[in-house]
Chain A
Amino acid sequence: MIERAMVIVGAGQGGLQMAESLRAEGWTGPIRLVGDEPVAPYNRPPLSKAVLSGESGPDTLIIRGPDFFAKKGIDLETATRVAAIDRAAKEVVLADGRRIAYAGLALATGSRARTLPLPGADLDGIVTLRTLADALALKERLAGARSLAVVGGGFIGLEVAASARKAGVEVTVIEAVPRLMARAVSEPISAWYAALHARHGVRILCSTGVEGFLGEAGRVAAVATSAGPIAADVVVVGVGVVPDDDLARACGLACDRGVVVDECSRTSDPAIVALGDCTARRLPDGTLRRLESVQNAVEQAKSGAAWLMGKERPFIATPWFWSDQYDVKLQMAGLSAGHDRSVVRGSPDDGAFSIFYWRGGRLVACDGVNRPQDHMAARKLLDKGVSPSPDEIADPAFDLAAFVRAA
Chain B
Amino acid sequence: MVKVVFIEPAGGEVSLDATEGWSLMQVATSQGVEGIDAECGGSCACATCHCYAEGEAAAHLPPPSEAELAMLEHVVAERRPSSRLSCQIKATPMIDGLILRVAETQS
A-to-B contact residues, CB < 8 Å = 13, 43, 45-46, 60-65, 67-68, 71-72, 294-295, 298, 322, 324, 329, 331, 370-373, 376-377, 379-380, 401
CB pair A294–B70 under 8 Å, yes or no, is: no
Given A60-B26, A298-B39, A372-B44, also A67-B32 (CB < 8 A): yes
In addition to A370-B67, A376-B71, A377-B74, 7 A-B residue pairs with Cβ atoms within 8 Å of each other are A45-B41, A45-B43, A68-B30, A322-B45, A329-B44, A329-B45, A372-B71
State which of B37, B42, B71 has its C-beta within 8 Å of the C-beta of A43: B42
Q: State how many angstroms separate the Cβ of B98 from the closest Cβ of chain A.
A: 19
CB pair B45–A65 under 8 Å, yes or no, is: no
**Closest 4 pairs between A and B when the two form their complex, measured CB to CB:** A43-B41, A376-B74, A68-B32, A373-B70
Once the chains are docked, how many angstroms separate the CA of A359 from the CA of B44? 29
Task: List the B side residues contacting A380 at CB < 8 Å.
Answer: 74
Once the chains are docked, how many angstroms separate the CA of A372 from the CA of B85? 14
Task: List the A side residues contacting B99 at CB < 8 Å.
Answer: none
Task: List the A side residues contacting B30 at CB < 8 Å.
Answer: 62-65, 68
Size of interface on B: residues with Cβ below 8 Å to A: 20
State which of A64, A371, A401 has its C-beta within 8 Å of the C-beta of B32: A64
Q: State how many angstroms separate the Cβ of A353 from the closest Cβ of chain B.
A: 14
Task: List the B side residues contacting A401 at CB < 8 Å.
Answer: 73
Assess whether B31 is interfacial by the CB under 8 Å rule. Answer: yes
Interface of B, secondary structure class, is loop
State which of B22, B29, B32, B37 has its C-beta within 8 Å of the C-beta of A71: B32
Assess whether B1 is interfacial by the CB under 8 Å rule. Answer: no
Q: For A45, A46, A60, A61, which residue has the most chain B Cβ atoms within 10 angstroms?
A: A60
CB pair B71–A45 under 8 Å, yes or no, is: no
CB pair B70–A372 under 8 Å, yes or no, is: yes
Q: List 12 A-B contacts (CB under 8 A).
A: A43-B42, A65-B31, A294-B40, A298-B39, A322-B45, A329-B43, A329-B45, A329-B67, A370-B67, A372-B45, A376-B74, A401-B73
Once the chains are docked, how many angstroms separate the CA of A345 from the CA of B29? 36
Interface of A, secondary structure class, is helix
CB pair B31–A68 under 8 Å, yes or no, is: yes
Task: List the A side residues contacting B37 at CB < 8 Å.
Answer: 298
Once the chains are docked, how many angstroms separate the CA of A64 from the CA of B41? 12
Task: List the A side residues contacting B29 at CB < 8 Å.
Answer: 63-64
Q: For chain B, residues 2 to 21, give those with C-beta under 8 angstroms from any C-beta of chain A.
A: none
Task: List the A side residues contacting B103 at CB < 8 Å.
Answer: none
Once the chains are docked, how many angstroms separate the CA of A82 from the CA of B14? 37
Once the chains are docked, how many angstroms separate the CA of A179 from the CA of B36? 38
Task: List the B side residues contacting A322 at CB < 8 Å.
Answer: 40, 43, 45
Once the chains are docked, how many angstroms separate the CA of A60 from the CA of B25? 10
Q: State how many angstroms separate the Cβ of A10 from the closest Cβ of chain B.
A: 17
Report B50-67 CB contacts with A as 1/0, cut-off 8 Å: 000000000000000001
Q: State how many angstroms separate the Cβ of B87 from the closest Cβ of chain A.
A: 11
State which of B31, B32, B39, B74 has its C-beta within 8 Å of the C-beta of A294: B39
Once the chains are docked, how many angstroms separate the CA of A401 from the CA of B32? 33
Nearest A-chain residue to B68, judged by Cβ: A372
Q: For B22, B31, B32, which residue has the most chain A Cβ atoms within 10 angstroms?
A: B32
Assess whether B47 is interfacial by the CB under 8 Å rule. Answer: yes
Nearest A-chain residue to B48, judged by Cβ: A298
Nearest B-chain residue to A405, judged by Cβ: B73
Once the chains are docked, how many angstroms separate the CA of A62 from the CA of B47? 20
Q: State how many angstroms separate the Cβ of A134 from the closest Cβ of chain B.
A: 17
Given A60-B22, A372-B71, A377-B74, also A331-B31 (CB < 8 A): no
Task: List the A side residues contacting B22 at CB < 8 Å.
Answer: 60
Task: List the B side residues contacting A298 at CB < 8 Å.
Answer: 37, 39
Task: List the A side residues contacting B39 at CB < 8 Å.
Answer: 294-295, 298
Nearest A-chain residue to B74, judged by Cβ: A376
CB pair A324–B43 under 8 Å, yes or no, is: yes
State which of B31, B40, B47 has its C-beta within 8 Å of the C-beta of A376: B47
Q: State how many angstroms separate the Cβ of B52 from the closest Cβ of chain A.
A: 19
Task: List the A side residues contacting B70 at CB < 8 Å.
Answer: 371-373, 376
CB pair B73–A373 under 8 Å, yes or no, is: yes
Nearest A-chain residue to B76, judged by Cβ: A380
Q: State how many angstroms separate the Cβ of B74 from the closest Cβ of chain A.
A: 4
Once the chains are docked, how many angstroms separate the CA of A25 from the CA of B22? 31
